[in-house]
């Protein structure tokens, strides 16, 4: 399984007065936009699969979510397919592409 940090973090932005400020970067919202991005050209089956992954992420109460290998591959494939990222997305992308592999033992 892969463990992805889905906690929010702060990024730099510029306010109306032209001053640098910190604003929250919502990782879960970014994952949602990524997983349903029009550039993925999702089939109906892929849309359902992506939705199941997002429900799992949204329902997770912790700052990390555990994804099955196939779920992780779908997220990673989306990261690699979508274009148009900016500097504020680097930490988000790094969390996905360098997700920790963990072993889960049955209770």
pLDDT reported for residue 13: 92
pLDDT reported for residue 55: 97
**All structural domains of the chain with their residue ranges:** 2-101
pLDDT reported for residue 39: 95
In sequence order, which residues have a C-beta less than 8 Å from that of residue 40 and are 6 or more positions away? 46, 78, 81, 82
* Burial of 89 (C-beta count, 10 Å sphere; 0-12/13-18/19+): middle
CB atoms within 10 A of CB 29: 12
pLDDT in 10s for each residue of the chain, 107 residues: 999 999 999 999 999 999 999 999 999 999 999 999 999 999 999 999 999 999 999 999 999 999 999 999 999 999 999 999 999 999 999 999 999 999 988 77
In sequence order, which residues have a C-beta less than 8 Å from that of residue 26 and are 6 or more positions away? 8
pTM of the predicted model as reported, rounded to 2 decimal places: 0.88
Rounded Cα gap, residues 90 and 107, in angstroms: 36
pLDDT reported for residue 105: 81
pLDDT reported for residue 106: 75
């Amino acid at each position: 399984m892969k463990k992805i940090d889905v906690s929010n973090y702060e990024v730099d932005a510029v306010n109306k007065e032209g001053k640098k400020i910190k604003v929250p970067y919502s990782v879960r919202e970014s994952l949602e936009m990524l997983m349903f991005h029009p550039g993925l050209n999702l089939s109906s089956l892929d849309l359902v699969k992506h939705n199941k992954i997002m429900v799992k992420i949204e329902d997770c109460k912790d700052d990390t979510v555990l994804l099955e290998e196939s779920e992780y591959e779908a997220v990673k494939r989306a990261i690699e397919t979508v274009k148009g990222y900016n500097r504020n997305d680097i930490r988000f992308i790094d969390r996905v592409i360098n997700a920790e592999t963990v072993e889960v033992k049955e209770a």
